[in-house]
Homo-oligomer: A and B are copies of this chain.
């Protein structure tokens, strides 16, 4: 990666956040635009983040007893129509294969926008008795949803994700798993992405097409807008009935199973960029940063400097830290800028005087603090402690920020002023779709999740008794 061209000019994060985002994702080489409109190429620096996300998430699934599998990309069009709400929600977005192998197909095939239908079909084949339950599977794959307006990572016609699908004998178990996976996502967001989230149930309007209930985790982006970062869905018997997922119970009678599903996608990369980034560019959470520590040699042509840098990198790698020496022939200043823009959590500067004094200069990306009092001897402990502290600081900083930007509203005007100010707005809601629609029309804000705490007495829209307290926000 020596001598890459890059331009450090990125738009101002405060005055033009959308352009800042585009500049950052392209100039740090996370992503590029594909030749087909709405598609993205995930470049090595971006894909390495996804690999770290996969590794951490997959370990959690395996620990929870979920097994990975792989289901076909192409789904018969007729499957989509078996669940009435599902087809209504997804049919307008699908890409359709009509020809293959030089001939027109008898039945058009859709590229999976999600796999409830085909997995339901297979589970219907596999499940026979209560002994086969629960059946809990996950797949890591690509999916496609034809979108009109696209942005890298946030909304692209093709994206990568995991989709977990389980079938249980009882609704209680399937509902419990829907909540368990929501909490798994929340823990992952906190400990791996250093990202605070709100979790909760979605309204009927915002739920997954075909679900009985959808739960989501929402994160606050730098501009105060919300990003849906993961969802879990309880399907009741909707898909089990559509695809004949039946089992013989302990009592010998035939029953339908209860299914649930859950997913997170490459959108998480967009989420962490817009949660943590600053005027200089990316700030990557250490657990997913492709490079956790970059070592920049000072006066690198002086005898012993590069050797000392490489030796330090080797020591750090041995303890599991992703370290890299930038031995390109760019100037130190250029390197500082580049790695700051690329969001590397820790930079170590090492020159002849440091080496002689047995010291190293350490810069942390989250606080922009530079310290030269660390000894080379204790580099491993120093770096480990620093990475852990950065993680905690990034989480706490984002959490404080989010919490300071949650306001209550008791009128539509207050709600509008709240979201205009870049806040999440808590407001009472009567539960009627008409009021939810009115909020959207009046304030361009949607119900993100229902708050567990139901303390606001009247509907922000109609003034009647509130059924729920809702987090409203503008959203990506």
Measured in the bound complex, the distance between the Cα atoms of B73 and A122 in whole Å is 24
- A330 to chain B minimum Cβ distance, whole angstroms, is 11
The answer on a CB contact under 8 Å between A95 and B102 is no
Q: Which 6 A-B pairs have the closest CB atoms?
A: A101-B146, A44-B67, A95-B100, A39-B72, A42-B70, A34-B72
Measured in the bound complex, the distance between the Cα atoms of B108 and A40 in whole Å is 18
Is A71 an interface residue when CB atoms closer than 8 A count as contact? yes
- A292 to chain B minimum Cβ distance, whole angstroms, is 16
The answer on a CB contact under 8 Å between B35 and A76 is yes
Among B3, B69, B94, the residue within 8 A (CB) of A47 is B69
**Residues A96 and B100 in contact in the complex (CB < 8 Å), given A36-B74, A72-B40:** yes
Count this chain's copies in the assembly: 2
What are 16 A-B pairs with beta-carbon distances under 8 A? A4-B131, A34-B72, A34-B122, A35-B118, A40-B72, A43-B69, A47-B68, A48-B67, A50-B70, A51-B68, A73-B158, A74-B144, A92-B101, A92-B102, A97-B97, A98-B99
The answer on a CB contact under 8 Å between A72 and B118 is no
Is A109 an interface residue when CB atoms closer than 8 A count as contact? yes
Specify which chain B residues have a CB less than 8 angstroms from the CB of A40 in the assembled complex.
72
Is A5 an interface residue when CB atoms closer than 8 A count as contact? yes
The answer on a CB contact under 8 Å between A144 and B73 is yes
Is A198 an interface residue when CB atoms closer than 8 A count as contact? no
- A301 to chain B minimum Cβ distance, whole angstroms, is 19
Specify which chain B residues have a CB less than 8 angstroms from the CB of A43 in the assembled complex.
69
The interface residues of chain A, by DSSP majority, are classed as mixed
Beyond contacts A32-B122, A34-B118, A100-B146: 19 other A-B pairs, Cβ-Cβ < 8 A, are A4-B131, A5-B128, A35-B75, A35-B121, A41-B70, A44-B68, A44-B137, A47-B70, A51-B68, A74-B157, A74-B158, A94-B100, A94-B101, A95-B101, A96-B98, A97-B111, A100-B157, A111-B111, A142-B142
Measured in the bound complex, the distance between the Cα atoms of B118 and A390 in whole Å is 39
- A252 to chain B minimum Cβ distance, whole angstroms, is 16
Q: How large is the interface on A (under 10, 10 to 19, 20 to 34, 35 or more residues)?
A: 35 or more
Specify which chain B residues have a CB less than 8 angstroms from the CB of A42 in the assembled complex.
69-70
**Residues A41 and B99 in contact in the complex (CB < 8 Å), given A5-B128, A118-B34, A142-B142:** no
A1-41, CB under 8 A of B: which get 1 and which 0?
A: 01111000000000000000000000000001011100111
A42: nearest chain-B partner, CB-CB? B70
**Residues A74 and B32 in contact in the complex (CB < 8 Å), given A94-B100, A101-B92:** no
The answer on a CB contact under 8 Å between B41 and A72 is yes
- A65 to chain B minimum Cβ distance, whole angstroms, is 11
Among B5, B99, B126, the residue within 8 A (CB) of A96 is B99
Measured in the bound complex, the distance between the Cα atoms of B101 and A78 in whole Å is 17
Specify which chain B residues have a CB less than 8 angstroms from the CB of A111 in the assembled complex.
73, 97, 111
Is A264 an interface residue when CB atoms closer than 8 A count as contact? no
**Residues A35 and B79 in contact in the complex (CB < 8 Å), given A69-B43, A71-B41, A72-B41:** yes
Specify which chain B residues have a CB less than 8 angstroms from the CB of A32 in the assembled complex.
122, 125-126
Among B67, B71, B76, B97, the residue within 8 A (CB) of A95 is B97
